[in-house]
Amino acid sequence: MPQPNENRFRHRDLNWLSFNERVLQEAADKINPLYERMKFLAIFSSNLDEYFRVRVSQLRQMKRVKKSIRKKLALKPSRITKQIIEEVKKQQNQFGDIYKKQIIPELAANNIFLLEADHYNHKQKAFAEDYFRKNIQQHLDPMLINLDEENELFLKNSILYFLVTFKDENKLAIVNLPVEECGRFVTFNDEAEKHQITYLDEILRHQLFKIFPESDITGIYEIKLSRDAELYIDDIYEGVLAEKIYESLKQRTDGQPTRLLYDASMPDPVHRKIRKLLKLGKIDMMPGGKYHNFKDFFTFPDPSGNKDLHFKKLPPLPHKTLEKSDDYFKSILEKDQALHFPFMSFDYVEKFVEQAAADDQVTDISISLYRVADESKLTNSLMQALENGKNVTVFVEAKARFDEENNISWGRKFEEKGAHVIYSFPKVKVHSKIMLVKRQENDETVRYAYIGTGNFNAETSEIYCDHAIFTANKLITKELDRLFKVLEGELIIPREKNLLISPFSTRQEFTKLIYNEIENARDGKKAKITAKMNSLEDEEMIELLYRASEAGVEIRMLIRGFTCLIPGVKGMSENIYITSVVDRFLEHGRIYLFENGGDEKMFYGSADWMSRNLDRRIEVISPVLDEDIFNEFKDILNIQLKDNVKARIQDKEETNTYVQKDDDEKTVRSQYAIYDYLKEKHSND
């Protein structure tokens, strides 16, 4: 992880915190209903957990590199880590303010009360005692520690514990909170008008004296340890990769500690004791509030039944062609068909696979699965296709972080049914979202392709904003067929002319497209690049964009996550303007539009402008060849560019300032405006 030139590149891990601040802004934004703001707190917390387990742990590994080598490579992990800790502490204070000063009072204003044990009435105390005895006690595994003896303390990753102190200062205890078994929140049913809810933590806190009846408890402090999530060290690539990953999943639980989050009210002497027991450095200790794991707020109950506390439902929009089509193959052969999630239903993809599985003329189905959902219509249809004698090839990404076990498990199920299952290549992930179906029609093999920006996952399709196109265009399907042959080991390179396929041609083709805009700008022609992606990190691409800006190319970008490019710097990036939309759904699509001297070229697909997407993953970026779909994608892109409700400016100061609406401008909240646009466009009236 080289330290970037700070005058030209931001550090990705520091700028990622700027993205998570935008999530926190959503939790504070009263445009969002109360329960949705609580979900943004949960997203912020979940994001931060993964960040420490993956990114901060990688910085920690860098600290093990010899100082002389770090100096040569300009690695400064300690300095970056300190900056991260500083910023995270600031954001956690903001988090605490939002929770205590906004969320809790607004819950109370809606007759929903989150009670602490000190405020239980007589009836609630009796309920807590009964609930503890019937539901909690059997799941506890208390550990009593005598500090006069040698101790080895092990805490599991991301599990909540109580650190208990006693009058006898030579004793400590660790007690697990059984959230997985009991849930995080418990609802009291004793008052009809008031809805009383309590944390599982509070019931356990109230009853903890029963676990240590002979000891005087002096303090109860919640703690949580995050552990390194990185599995992919060099020697793991020897032998059968999928097996080694499957076997090594326990590292997720046993990995190196990266952060201990603790109740900031913990006294310093106790703080030092737990740090010593866990063999942690000062930088590994992160003070927090009374409660941790706010990701559990995804499951916070709503006993009120008040619909105003949630987003209004947006029913999936019917696709004007596929909704009434009994034969998807015929509809796709006539014309490319585009889908936009979550505004349209993932059912269309599932129905296509279902039709392919049952169709006598279909001979082959090939698909890449990056994050496999639990049992779904799509996986069931693939199983049915195997039973119906189809040739089914499934490329399973065994290295999709946090989804390895489920992915490999599904791979084995497909293998058992007779599918040709291919697992990851060493040091290469298959991140593309592609499917190819071959069908015999009039003694000819006709190919049908699906290329998307999101995973084949019905659940995430309801949350992620993604785009996909079904096509039978031979320019696309022939090249996609060759890519699947590469994945199967029949070809070495796909020899593509239309698709951009990483790591073979994506970087080279994007480079050509940007240079073309530079040349046009120098020739006095209109030159413009509009690009939407999740993250921008690749230094070569950033330097190209700087060069384009200096040449006078207008560059307009939508980047949801982090960016290492510094926009708006005179003489370097003054023609680059970036906004980020964080709203109800997670922006996940990638669209790239080049002016091309008036003959615009548009591409979409699975790759961001990150080194890993360009050089170390199998990615597919497709041109948009259908004129209607081209216009539809461009309209959607333009709506997002005009967002003045949920768009923040990614400026050189990283202020996360909301885009301000001019007095004569129309209010545009892009996700809702896109829904309305698609509703009108796909109306069958």
Let me know if 240 is exposed, middle or buried by CB neighbors in 10 A (0-12, 13-18, 19+): exposed
Enumerate the active-site residues: 431
Whether the Cβ atoms of residue 683 and residue 675 lie closer than 8 Å to each other:
no
Torsion sign across C-alpha atoms 469, 472, 475, 479: positive
Hunting for tokens 């300009």 — which residue is that?
Answer: 74
241 C-beta neighbours (distance < 10 Å), count: 19
Shortest CA distance to 464 belongs to which of 356, 317, 582?
A: 582
- What phi, psi does 93 have (nearest 5°)? -65, -40
> Which among 548, 589, 543, 587 has a CA at the least distance from the CA of 566?
543
Phi, psi angles (nearest 5°) of residue 328: -60, -35
For residue 675 the two structure tokens come to 């829904």
List C-alpha distances in Å: 361 to 272, 351, 434.
70, 16, 21
- Quote the tokens at residue 95: 């988090």
Two structure tokens written together for 565: 């490019």
DSSP 3-state assignment of 471?
A: strand
Contact 603, 592 (CB under 8 A): yes
Beta strands in 526-638 (DSSP E): 528-533, 554-559, 576-581, 586-587, 591-594, 601-605, 617-623
Six-digit token pair at 657?
A: 């300032």
Sign of the four-CA dihedral 175, 181, 184, 188: negative
| DSSP annotation of 234 | G
Q: Write the CA distances from 165 to 33, 206, 212, integer angstroms.
A: 40, 15, 11
The phi, psi pair for 368, rounded to 5°, reads -105, 130
CB 379 within 8 A of CB 369: no
**Could you tell me which of 467, 361, 367, 358 has the C-alpha nearest to residue 414?**
367
Q: Which residues of 354-366 are buried (b: 16+ CB within 10 A; e: fewer)?
A: bbbbebeebebbb
CA pair distance 502, 493, nearest whole angstrom: 11
- Measure Cα distances from 460 to 116, 139, 195, 513 in Å: 34, 32, 31, 32
Q: Are 473 and 625 in contact (CB under 8 A)?
A: yes
Query: What does the DSSP assignment read for 333-395?
Result: HHS-EEEEETTB-THHHHHHHHHHHH-TTEEEEEEEESS--SS-HHHHHHHHHHHTT-EEEEE
Helix (H) or strand (E) holding 448: strand 444-452
- β partners of residue 362: 439
**Are residues 524 and 518 in contact, defined by beta-carbon separation less than 8 angstroms?**
no
| C-alpha–C-alpha distance, residues 685 and 681, integer Å | 10
Closest CA to 337 of 313, 321, 350: 321
